[in-house]
Amino acid sequence: MPPDPIRLTALAKRAGCAAKHPPGFLLPLLGLLPPVTDPRVLVGSSTADDAAVYKLSDDTALVLTTDFFTPIVDGPRDFGRVAAANALSDVYAMGGTPLAALSVVGFPDALPATVLGDILAGAAEVAAEAGAPIVGGHTIKSEEPIFGLAVVGTVHPDKVLSNAGAKPGDALVLSKPLGLGVITTAAKNGNDDRGAIADAVRVMTTLNRGAAEVLAGYEVHALTDVTGFGLLGHLRNVTAASRVTAEVWADRVPVLPAAREYVAAGIAPGGTRANRSFLADWVEYAPDVTENDQLLLCDAQTSGGLLAAIPADRAAELVRQLRAAGLADAAEVGRVTGQGTGRITVRRGPA
């Protein structure tokens, strides 16, 4: 009989972006770093943005980012595809175009080299789709499989899209559904009774390039991608950096159907619960927003969608264009409500 297939998620204590340290751990550490005074650094770590931006000339800046994690899915090729799409997303979230990438690999001695070959092949496939070849990398031995990319992109210095420009009255538009952390956790634990992991892989391997190309035709005041800190965690970074307040409409937020079922059964990754705990000081929930709703809004996504703050009178048109581009779940999910210190209110729908 052939050997049982290798389940990569069984080799990882935590999966995908849910393996990230929570913002409550990271943000105080970033505060200890010396301030960056080089005027060529257009975006650094001070606003917890998705990538750094470094100006080379009057018409060219580099977008610099890295992202890597333990297996989010069992199949090696799919693991590589998801990890590549996730890392490339940070460049799109800054308004940039990916240029090239380096692989970041930790690999156990106990696994056959062919597994790593499949991971690399999957990543190369998605990187080629983005037009950003993987041109090298570095590999170490590790107890758990780890894979990701360090990506370099380019952007015009005057067209950088940071998380710090949201304005009162802006609409908040999300390009992909939530629930990826819940579904991948269910699959890892053998509880994916609906076989939802296939749909989750489809979402996670969809590049944010299409959404970025649509957004290029709009006045975008702030942009971020939704990954390990969840929708509310990444929105908190936007509101804090922009010195505004916002509200999210829970009934308007797209969620993969199986995720609602699984979270009701008590399934949620540790990273999701850590996000919800951290956000307790930043988010006020209306009484009819259930704990399950809160977990989904805080769910640790891997290769999630883009979240854009744009003038409200263009939101409906933007949603139509995103859906026409194949992002069927795109939706307006809230508003920037005023100047402030970053607090967020969650209600079922618009007031």
Question: For residue 188, which of 4, 1, 11 has the smallest C-alpha distance?
Answer: 11
pLDDT at 311: 98
Torsion of CA 64, 244, 251, 265, to 10 degrees: 60
Question: What pLDDT was estimated at residue 105?
Answer: 97
**Average pLDDT for 132-155:** 97
Question: CA–CA separation, 314 vs 301, rounded Å?
Answer: 27
DSSP single-letter state for residue 306: E
**Per-residue pLDDT, 37:** 86
Kindly report, residue by residue over 18-75, the tens digit of the pLDDT. 677 777 777 788 777 888 889 999 998 888 888 999 999 999 999 999 999 999 999 9
Tell me: pLDDT of 2 over 50.
no
| Gap between the Cα atoms of 174 and 330, Å rounded | 6
Enclosing H/E stretch for 60:
strand 60-69
**Does pLDDT of 184 surpass 50?**
yes
pLDDT in tens, 92-141: 999 999 999 999 999 999 999 999 999 999 999 999 999 999 999 999 99
Pairing mode, strands 171-174 and 283-285? unpaired
Q: How many CB atoms lie within 10 A of CB 83?
A: 33
pLDDT for residue 27? 74
- Residue 7 pLDDT > 70: yes
Q: Is the pLDDT of residue 17 over 60?
A: no
Residue 195, classified by CB atoms within 10 Å of its CB into exposed (0-12), middle (13-18) or buried (19+), is exposed
What's the CA gap between 213 and 345, in Å, rounded? 30
pLDDT of 16 strictly over 80: no
Whether the per-residue pLDDT at 298 is higher than 60: the answer is yes
State the chain's mean pLDDT as an integer: 94
Contact (CB, 8 A) for 127 and 88: yes
* Each residue's pLDDT tens digit, 198-222: 999 999 999 999 999 999 999 999 9
Q: What is the pTM of this model?
A: 0.93
Q: What is the DSSP string of 102-145?
A: EEEEEE-TTS-HHHHHHHHHHHHHHHHHHT--EEEEEEEE-SS-
User: Is 298 one of the catalytic residues?
Assistant: no
Helix axes 180-188, 197-204, angle to 10 degrees: 130
Helix, strand, or coil here: 275? Answer: helix
CA-to-CA separations, 176 to 9, 144, 211, 308, 333, in angstroms, rounded: 24, 29, 9, 12, 11
Catalytic residue among 8, 12, 15, 17: 17
Q: Comparing 33-37, 132-136, 246-250, 304-308, which segment has the lowest mean pLDDT?
A: 33-37
Reported confidence tier of residue 1, pLDDT bands at 50, 70, 90: very low
Domains observed in the chain: 8-159 (3.30.1330.10), 171-347 (3.90.650.10)
**Separation CA 209–CA 92 (nearest Å):** 6
Task: Give the number of other Cβ atoms within 10 Å of residue 154's Cβ.
Answer: 16
Q: How far apart are CA 331 and CA 321, in angstroms?
A: 11
- Say which residues have a Cβ less than 8 Å from residue 82's Cβ, sequence separation at least 6: 16, 72, 73, 201, 204, 205, 302, 303
Q: What is the pLDDT of residue 12?
A: 81
